[in-house]
Structure 1
Amino acid sequence: MSLSKQQRQHLVAQLLERERVASQAQLVALLAERGVKATQATVSRDLEELGAVKIRVAGGETAYALPELPVQQIVPPDHLRRVLGEWAVAVAWSGPLVVVRTPPGSAHVVGSALDRSGLVGVVGTVAGDDTVLVVVEEAVGAATVGRRLRVLAGLDPEEDAEDAPVEGGAGE
């Protein structure tokens, strides 16, 4: 199978997280097992670009590992409160989705903070220019997450989602 560079590197990162990979040859073989043809030179470049390093593991052996990337680090709770307090102007929800409105050009800041917050129920976000779509776990519910985001943002947590001031929408 032919993967793009980004797809292949994503797979390499997953393999390094799940398997003890001691050599580039082993990584080439693991990729081949998954139907991905890659040379040792390609794998070497991928490891370099991903920032992989060799670490000593139990038993004194070495294996490749990826340092924790900032995007994967959970941010302190106060960070999310500060970001939402500064940038969220409205929060509404429907079904399994929460919509957070921001000033133009600010949605990516809120989306990134939410993605890295570790907030219970948040599956992920999609950020546009002034709108963040937050996908919520069904078991938790969008109303729960939406109200929590309103509290963190300093907005009225009791306001009904249908009455929330979501200005600048597509219909205006």
Structure 2
Amino acid sequence: MAATIPPTKTARQALIARLIEGAEIRSQAELAVRLDAEGIHVTQATLSRDLLDIGAVKIRAASGQLVYTTQASLEASEDTGARLTRLCAELLHSADGSGAIAVLRTPAGAAQFLATAIDGHDDPEVVGTVAGDDTLFVLSRDPAGGLALAQRFLDRASGHHS
């Protein structure tokens, strides 16, 4: 079995992470202006790749604006239940179920982020997740529990979970 070495952040990516963790940055254009002020000039394509590489996602900030953040800043000192509830409120657009599967919809690029939070919460009713770009499947342990599981995530998003 071949070992893989995890990629390291470039200095530019580290700066991007610091910038989006330190201020409400709403767009790639705004981020590019801030990088220019630091003497770093990037194309939109490079900036998009960097944001993907550092795991940046957009969330709704307290101001109501959609802003970039990193997984590291979201995970800081937060228990898994509280984190999952917050992420459902910020990222979950809709949920539905069929059979044993709950289908959750998120903003583009956020499905894997939400799936990681679901998997990390270690809910005994959840077997696991499969995530794409803006959609994730959550497999219920109950063969007919997909719709109920979808409702549980909607309840979390609205603040009515038990």
TM-score (norm 2): 0.48
Please tell me whether Structure 1 or Structure 2 has the larger radius of gyration of its CA atoms.
Answer: 1
TM-score (norm 1): 0.45
